[in-house]
Amino acid sequence: MFELAWPWMLATLPIPWLVHRYSRSNFSPTRGALRVPDLDDFRALPSTTGRSPMRVQSWWLPFASWCLLVFAASNPQWLGEPVGVPSNGRDLMLAIDLSESMEVEDFVLNGRTVDRLVATKAVASDFIRRRVGDRIGLLLFGEQAYLHVPLTFDRVTVAQLLDETVIGLAGRSTAIGDALGLAVKRLREQNVDRKIVILMTDGANTSGQVEPLRAAKLAAAAGLRVYTIGIGADEMLVRQIFGTIRVNPSTDLDEDTMKEIAKATGGRYFRARDVSELEAIYAELDKLEPTERGQQHFRPERALFHWPLAIALLGAGCVGWRHTRGAT
> Please, are residues 205 and 211 in contact by the beta-carbon 8 Å criterion?
yes
pLDDT surpassing 70 at residue 46: no
Find the range with the poorest average confidence among 29-38, 256-265, 314-323.
29-38
Predicted pLDDT of residue 64:
84
Predicted pLDDT of residue 61:
77
Model confidence over 156-175: pLDDT tens digits?
A: 999 999 999 988 888 888 99
More confident residue, 31 or 91: 91
Model confidence over 216-270: pLDDT tens digits?
A: 999 999 999 999 999 988 876 666 666 666 767 778 889 999 999 999 999 999 9
CA 309 centroid distance within chain: 28
- pTM of the predicted structure, to 2 decimals: 0.63
pLDDT, average across residues 87-98: 83
Beta bridge partners of 298: 83
Domain ranges of the chain: 2-21+51-80+299-327, 84-296
CA 162 centroid distance within chain: 16
Superfamily designation of domain 84-296 = von Willebrand factor, type A domain (3.40.50.410)
pLDDT surpassing 60 at residue 35: no
pLDDT, average across residues 84-94: 72
Predicted pLDDT of residue 42:
44
> What is the helix (H) or strand (E) element at residue 296, kind and residue range?
strand 294-298
Calculate the dihedral angle through the C-alpha atoms of 216, 219, 224, 227, rounding to the nearest 10 degrees.
-20
Calculate the dihedral angle through the C-alpha atoms of 162, 164, 168, 174, rounding to the nearest 10 degrees.
0
Looking at residue 152, its amino acid is: T
Percent of the chain with pLDDT over 90: 33
The CA distance from 116 to 140, in Å, is 15
